[in-house]
Amino acid sequence: MEKKRFFWVWVIFFLVLIICSPLIEGGETYETISWLRLWVIGFGLFYFLRPLKKGHLELAIPIYNRVLVLLWLILTGSLFITSYYYSTIYWYSNILVYFLFFYLVLNLLSKEQGERVLSAIFFILIGSGLVQSTVGIIEYVQRDPGRVSATFFNPSYYAGYLLGLIGFPLAGLVFDLPIQFSRKNKFWLKIGLGISLMIIGFGMLISASRSMVFGLIPLSLVLVVRFRRKAILVLILLVLGLILVPNPLSYRLKNLNRDPYAWERIGIWKSSLRMIRGYPLGVGLGNYRFYYHRYPEPLKLVKFGRYGKEAGQAHNEFLNFACEASLLSPLVLFGFWALILGRALKKLKAKEISGEEKLWLTGFSGSLLGILAHSLVDANLHQPPIIIITIINTAGLISVMAKGERSLVKNIESEVHSSWFWRVFLILSFSLIGLLMTYQALIAGFYFRSLNLKTPEERIKRLTQLSRFPAGYAPLYFQLGVDLRNQFLKTGEVEFLGQAIRSFELAIQLNPENYQYYYQSAECIYRLGVWLKIPAVFERAESALEQAIKRAPAQVFSYMLLAEISGLKSEMEKSLKWLETALEYEPYFMRARLLKTEILIEQGKINEARQEFELISQQLSEIKAFLKDGVYALNYYQQLVIAVDEKDLAQMENRLKNYSQEKPIKKVQ
């Protein structure tokens, strides 16, 4: 009875974890992170306390455990080099939970009821694929958006999740099932697996994500192991069908050259390699996004807002790891997976392997290979649902192979004296760690909720309350500064401006590598200088802008503000220099061209001013034609770059009509 209850406890654990983790925006929200951490920590505590009640410790450790310990030490080193502790601690906490989850799964599968638990996981994984595919199909039928993402944030992660699952129903279809059934029940189960395979495959197809091509890896592995050379013909027909038969994926592949962002990852990878050279020890876990703008690469096929790409990750998990935690970390992690997969593929070549072993090895190996291949072009391992499958694949492979090679898993058993002390210690330590992790995630959660408040006054009140809790969360102070600045613009009360500057300075102290914090602080200081009419204040703004440019040399709004400050100080040549630098980065920066035209008029260079204004007219015509074509929508940065006031254009046109080089030039106020 106790064994049965123990089994169903872990079925519930995996059922909730696998099915529910992608239900809210693919698991990227603070709600998912919070309950996922507590769920794994709570069940981990339950598992390890159980043998301690009997006065002994049982622990299963993989053969390559030293590699994992080395990886943990490298990642721990990230805590000592980071510039922004909140972000690094956040991701370090997630990784610790994933480590715990790996050891928990490995220990469960290595025990007496491991095979039953493994079979339950097999069907839960297929069930999760069916849930997501069904949601995607319903979305496609009801709204027909062209690309679907089900409960995920975007179609790429949706397809990436399904490609990690599609091999399991196929493996169950062509190999021996892990549970003994009657012939009749086995037949109907095979029919069900075939239907599941088609539903998951169709769910992937309607995502129209290019990442779904990695789904061919698990399918190919299963088919090649089962049918050998005959599988090649099936795979060729499958690929030809995807290319020739009209479907969302083939349409997207045919229009690849029309997508200006299709090859953006190459530029991001170049920036990442330069980041590794600049910071060989890494920039700290979770800090990639704050250092990315130091190494800008323009979008090749985009004229307007060429540096408007915001890269939160390197779009390659191994590159991202190298950027954040040194080159050693991806090498160690890749080495660990290579050792495991190498053994699995070698075992699949053996003649004496059973059909059930083939099911597990092809299912787990194919899923892991597909996910890792996808990780070379996307940040899929940052998604909790996908990393959960990855960990299950890894632990599952080790446990399955350990049945034939006992050296793969080392079982440690020892008597524990004063077991009550260790039970209390585990309960207190796990509870404390869980509470601290939850507290950190909840601070971010309350911050995001405050953004939904309708009025700035409500947000300011809520954010001020949150800022009293020590958390080191920089966006909280940044948003508070933005709202306070907006209140100044609304009311004209300079006290709000002073408070905004202090909030931005607090954000900078917590995260000194975010260029936006320096820029927004400089803008407020600039406004304060204009309001006070004290030129010395502008020097402080210029200093902040220099720091912003150091961290993001291609973000042109810093140069624009420096040009405006130089203009107020009557340093026209310096102002022109800043504007020309901005236009080198963004030739279609309309406000910069308009200000340059105005300065040229003030300097009496009317012909040059007319040429500049003609260029503005030509560029605006290009922009209008581009927007009319409707190939893709401009992001917020690009909209700001090409934004220009029609009244300002009309006034400038009239001024140029009324000027001639013989007429005296009047200074524009």
pLDDT in tens, 38-71: 999 999 998 888 877 777 778 889 989 999 999 9
- 626 falls in which pLDDT band (50, 70, 90)? confident
Beta bridge partners of 411: 60
What are the distances in angstroms from CA 299 to CA 45, 267, 305, 559, 607? 49, 7, 8, 20, 33
Task: Give the DSSP letter of residue 665.
Answer: P
Percentage of the chain modeled with pLDDT above 70: 94
Which region, left, alpha or beta, applies to residue 635 given φ > 0 means left and ψ of -120 to 50 means alpha? beta
**Dihedral Cα 113, 118, 123, 129, nearest 10 deg:** 150
Q: Quick one: pLDDT at residue 186?
A: 82
Burial class (CB in 10 A: 0-12, 13-18, 19+), 359: buried
pLDDT in tens, 426-447: 889 888 988 888 888 888 888 9
Q: Quick one: pLDDT at residue 664?
A: 43
Helices 155-163 and 114-143, packing angle to 10 deg: 140
Residue 281: both structure tokens together: 């020890």
Q: Which of 447, 483, 434 is nearest to 93 (CA)?
A: 434
What are the distances in angstroms from CA 551 to CA 515, 517, 519, 538, 621? 6, 11, 10, 20, 33
- 350 falls in which pLDDT band (50, 70, 90)? confident
Residue 53 phi, psi dihedral angles, 5° rounding? -60, -30
Beta bridge partners of 58: 413
Q: Quick one: pLDDT at residue 258?
A: 63
Q: pLDDT at residue 402 above 50?
A: yes
Q: Quick one: pLDDT at residue 25?
A: 74
Q: CA-to-CA distance for 422 and 28, rounded, in angstroms? A: 35
pLDDT in tens, 201-258: 999 988 888 888 899 999 999 999 988 888 888 888 888 877 777 777 776 666 666 6
Residue range 515-528: mean pLDDT, rounded: 96
Q: Quick one: pLDDT at residue 663?
A: 47
- 662 falls in which pLDDT band (50, 70, 90)? very low
Q: How many CB atoms lie within 10 A of CB 326?
A: 22
Which region, left, alpha or beta, applies to residue 396 given φ > 0 means left and ψ of -120 to 50 means alpha? alpha
The structure's pTM equals 0.91
Helix (H/G/I), strand (E/B), else coil: 349: coil
Task: Give the DSSP letter of residue 329.
Answer: H
Least confident of 220-224, 300-304, 506-510, 532-536: 300-304
Residue 446: both structure tokens together: 């309350």
Task: Give the DSSP letter of residue 508.
Answer: H
**Dihedral Cα 296, 599, 637, 286, nearest 10 deg:** 40
Least confident of 9-23, 165-179, 549-563, 628-642: 628-642
Q: Which of 148, 135, 356, 338 is nearest to 248 (CA)?
A: 148
Q: Quick one: pLDDT at residue 144?
A: 62
Q: Which of 164, 257, 261 is nearest to 632 (CA)?
A: 261
Q: Quick one: pLDDT at residue 259?
A: 64
439 CB contacts (<8 Å, ≥6 apart)? 471
Beta bridge partners of 313: none
End-to-end C-alpha distance for the chain, whole angstroms: 88
What are the distances in angstroms from CA 548 to CA 322, 518, 527, 560? 25, 5, 17, 12
Amino acid 439 reads Y
Residue range 115-121: mean pLDDT, rounded: 92
More reliable by pLDDT, 657 or 158? 158
Query: HEC string of 457-488?
Result: HHHHHHHHHHCCCCCCCHHHHHHHHHHHHHHH
Q: Quick one: pLDDT at residue 52?
A: 78
* Residues written for the chain: 669
Q: Quick one: pLDDT at residue 416?
A: 73
The answer to whether residues 592 and 557 touch, using CB atoms and an 8 Å cutoff, is: no
Q: Quick one: pLDDT at residue 669?
A: 34
Q: CA-to-CA distance for 662 and 659, rounded, in angstroms? A: 8
Average per-residue pLDDT for the chain: 89
565 CB contacts (<8 Å, ≥6 apart)? 526, 538, 541, 542
pLDDT in tens, 250-282: 766 666 666 666 678 888 999 999 999 999 999
450, HSE (Cβ side, Cα atoms, 13 Å): 24
Q: Quick one: pLDDT at residue 2?
A: 66
Q: What is the Rg, in whole angstroms, of the alpha carbon atoms belonging to the chain?
A: 29
Maximum alpha-carbon separation in the chain = 103
What are the distances in angstroms from CA 130 to CA 124, 190, 358? 10, 15, 23
Q: Quick one: pLDDT at residue 19?
A: 95
Burial class (CB in 10 A: 0-12, 13-18, 19+), 620: middle
Read out DSSP for 99-125? Answer: HHHHHHHHHHHTSTTHHHHHHHHHHHH
The answer to whether residues 231 and 220 touch, using CB atoms and an 8 Å cutoff, is: yes
More reliable by pLDDT, 19 or 664? 19
What are the distances in angstroms from CA 177 to CA 120, 123, 181, 358? 12, 11, 9, 10
Q: pLDDT at residue 564 above 60?
A: yes
The answer to whether residues 496 and 484 touch, using CB atoms and an 8 Å cutoff, is: yes
Residue 410 phi, psi dihedral angles, 5° rounding? -100, 120
Q: Quick one: pLDDT at residue 665?
A: 40
The answer to whether residues 375 and 317 touch, using CB atoms and an 8 Å cutoff, is: yes
Q: CA-to-CA distance for 429 and 391, rounded, in angstroms? A: 24
For the chain, the 3-state helix, strand and coil shares in percent, each to the nearest 5, are 75, 0, 25
Among 53-62, 465-474, 494-503, 532-541, name the most confident range: 494-503
- 661 falls in which pLDDT band (50, 70, 90)? very low
Helix (H/G/I), strand (E/B), else coil: 569: coil
Q: CA-to-CA distance for 268 and 311, rounded, in angstroms? A: 7
Q: pLDDT at residue 397 above 60?
A: yes
Q: CA-to-CA distance for 565 and 588, rounded, in angstroms? A: 22
Query: HEC string of 570-589?
Result: CCHHHHHHHHHHHHHHCCCC
Residue range 130-145: mean pLDDT, rounded: 86
Q: CA-to-CA distance for 107 and 396, rounded, in angstroms? A: 10
